[in-house]
Structure 1
């Protein structure tokens, strides 16, 4: 790789993993699951953790889907 090459920090995370993480947060934090996930996202952003940011955004999206499915 040359000096101008950039390696992507995008983590590979399967949909089922996001689903499982969202369900775990709901089980653990109940009504506070979304706030906990948002706090983790904020921390990832503050730490410039691109991979963590991507994962927590995915979990937040999945939380909304999981909550909608249980209605």
Structure 2
């Protein structure tokens, strides 16, 4: 997954919270709000992993990886 699939514009992220990591995404040029990116840490069978959730500006979950 590439963030460009969900946020095709030039994106600027602003951290809202640390645990889980929650970021707001804004278009760099227009400053329009694009959505959120949440990154959680988890322990998988093969070791630590990160779960990334992309939420658009309407509040719809677009992808969880």
- Normalised to the residue count of structure 1, the TM-score between the two structures is 0.21
Higher-helix-fraction structure: 1
Higher gyration radius (CA):
1
Higher-strand-fraction structure: 2
- Normalised to the residue count of structure 2, the TM-score between the two structures is 0.22
Identify the structure with bigger relative contact order (alpha carbons < 8 Å, sequence gap 6+): 1
